[in-house]
Every structure is written in C-alpha cells, then in structure tokens.
C-alpha cells in the first residue's frame, strides 16, 4: 500500500533510474533479504532547455532497527552507488516509463538519507523573456561536482519484506527542477553585464555574476529539493 510521502512507515520512497547495475553494502546486515525494485521517473518534462540532464550517483538509506543501525556505525548503506563508468543519466525532457534497477536489502524499515547528483547540464535553451534571469539565459555552466540532497520536506520511510512485493519510486519534476537550478545562480542585469568600457547600449538584459561552476550555490539548490523530488 503506497503512501504519499510518509505514512507510518510503509513505502514512500526513492526512485532511481538505472541503466547500470547497483551496488549495495547491505550484506553487512544478515537476516531475510528482499529484492527492492527502484524506479526513477520524470514528470512535467519538456523544459525550455534543449539539454536537461543530470546523473544520480548515490542514494543512501538507514535502517530504523537500532541493532542494524549499530552494526553500520557511521558507514553509509547504499541503495544505489555508481562510478564514472556507469552513470545513471536522467533526461528531464523525456517522459519515459522509468529507469529501474533492483537492490537487495535486509528485511526491515528504512529511511532515505541522501541522494547525490552530478553533471547537472541545462544548456541550449529558449529565451522565454527578459523579465528574469531564469527566463533570459539560455546556457548555464555544467555542474560537475556532487550536489547532495538530504532534505525532502519530511522523512521518507519504506519497508522491505522478504520475497516479492517491494517497490520504491522516486519522481523528478522536470520544470520545477529547472526553476530550482536557475534560482541557484547569482545574476546581474543591464550595464553590469557589459564587457566593453565604457559600456555601450544595447546592454545585455541578464548575465551570471560568476559565469563558472563556482557561481552555482549548491546549498540553495539542495534546499529546494522538496519542490522537485517526491516519493509517491
């Protein structure tokens, strides 16, 4: 029985779109093991950017059983962990059925701890208008470093049972994610964007205050996670 977000400790979780096999260190915990299909899907696709991509590289969870938690100590428990050779690439412009992988976990209750994203790319877009920076700029630098999401608005719990019947799902809202991304840059407007001296009209309407990856405020982006990732 699914729950929207969190409903007293049953499924409400994760989705990770996977074209590559996932790794898990859940073998540290040794009781019954259940296969957990994990799916990532995209909602509200067809963003204004021609290229709207990012990679999911890691998802960590934590068992709610205190004995199992003690066994893990400070070590993360991975539902999905990939390498640069096998990225899980999500295309926000593609409303496909989803990317699915299966990860074994020991039976019990878990909480989603974090989702790590890399290689966020929003480029070659359409200029919607010049009213805001987000509507004007058509190419943003590719964010190659890791951006970690840890706050999903409320705790996300899921239950793993032995045998079949487990299901974890995570949905990314493409348009909301684009909005969160463009809101995470510092912008300037008008004469401040001119490169010549003295600046001559017409002045560019908007430009990035720091047009490099360093101008991206990943904490601002991560704080907006509840607006673009959900666990139906």
Query: What is the pLDDT at residue 31?
Result: 52
Evaluate if residue 38 carries a pLDDT over 60: yes
Query: What is the pLDDT at residue 135?
Result: 93
Query: What is the pLDDT at residue 83?
Result: 63
Per-residue pLDDT reduced to its tens digit, 164-215: 777 778 999 999 999 999 999 999 998 888 876 666 677 788 999 999 999 9
Q: Specify which of 19-33, 106-120, 186-200 reaches the highest per-range mean pLDDT.
A: 106-120
User: Average pLDDT of 12-19?
Assistant: 29
CA distance 167 to 132: 40
H-only helix segments in the chain: 66-72, 133-136, 174-182, 218-223, 225-228
Sorted by where each begins, the domain ranges of the chain are 26-182+218-230
Query: What is the pLDDT at residue 25?
Result: 46
How distant, in Å, are the alpha carbons of 40, 94, 141, 147, 149 from that of 222? 18, 23, 17, 7, 5
CA distance 181 to 199: 29
User: Average pLDDT of 67-82?
Assistant: 83
Q: Specify which of 45-59, 97-111, 183-197 reaches the highest per-range mean pLDDT.
A: 45-59
Query: What is the pLDDT at residue 232?
Result: 85
CA distance 224 to 56: 17
CA distance 185 to 140: 9
> Residue 4: which pLDDT band, with cuts at 50, 70 and 90?
very low
| Helix, strand, or coil (residue 22) | coil
Residue 164 contacts residue 37 (beta carbons within 8 Å):
no
User: Average pLDDT of 74-96?
Assistant: 80
Query: What is the pLDDT at residue 6?
Result: 33
- Poorest-confidence range of 9-13, 104-108, 115-119, 158-162? 9-13
Q: What is the dihedral of CA 115, 68, 38, 14, to 10 degrees?
A: -40
Nearest alpha-carbon partner for 18 in 45, 46, 37, 43: 37
- Poorest-confidence range of 28-42, 82-96, 167-181? 28-42
Query: What is the pLDDT at residue 11?
Result: 31
Query: What is the pLDDT at residue 79?
Result: 80
DSSP notation for 176-226: HHHHHHHTTB-EEEGGGG--SSS--SSPPSEEESS-SGGGB-HHHHHHTHH
Evaluate if residue 98 carries a pLDDT over 60: yes
């Amino acid at each position: 029985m699914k729950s929207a977000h969190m409903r007293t400790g049953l499924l409400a979780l994760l989705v990770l779109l996977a074209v590559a096999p996932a790794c898990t260190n859940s073998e540290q915990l040794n009781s019954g093991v259940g296969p957990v299909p994990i799916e990532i899907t995209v909602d509200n696709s067809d963003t204004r950017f021609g290229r709207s991509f990012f990679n999911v590289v890691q998802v960590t969870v934590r068992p709610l059983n205190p004995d199992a938690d003690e066994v893990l100590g400070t070590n993360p428990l991975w539902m999905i962990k990939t390498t640069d050779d096998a990225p899980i690439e999500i295309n926000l412009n593609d409303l496909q059925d989803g990317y699915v992988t299966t990860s074994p976990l020991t039976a019990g209750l878990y909480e989603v701890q974090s989702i790590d994203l890399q290689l966020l790319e929003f480029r070659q877009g359409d200029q919607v208008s010049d009213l805001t920076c987000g509507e004007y700029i058509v190419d943003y630098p590719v964010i190659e470093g890791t951006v970690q999401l840890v706050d999903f608005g409320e705790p996300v719990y899921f239950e793993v049972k032995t045998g079949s019947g487990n299901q974890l799902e995570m949905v990314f809202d493409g348009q909301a994610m684009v909005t969160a991304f463009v809101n995470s840059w510092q912008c300037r407007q008008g004469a401040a964007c001119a490169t010549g001296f003295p600046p001559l009209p017409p002045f560019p309407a908007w430009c990035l205050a720091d047009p490099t990856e360093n101008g991206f405020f990943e904490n601002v982006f991560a704080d907006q996670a509840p607006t673009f990732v959900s666990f139906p």
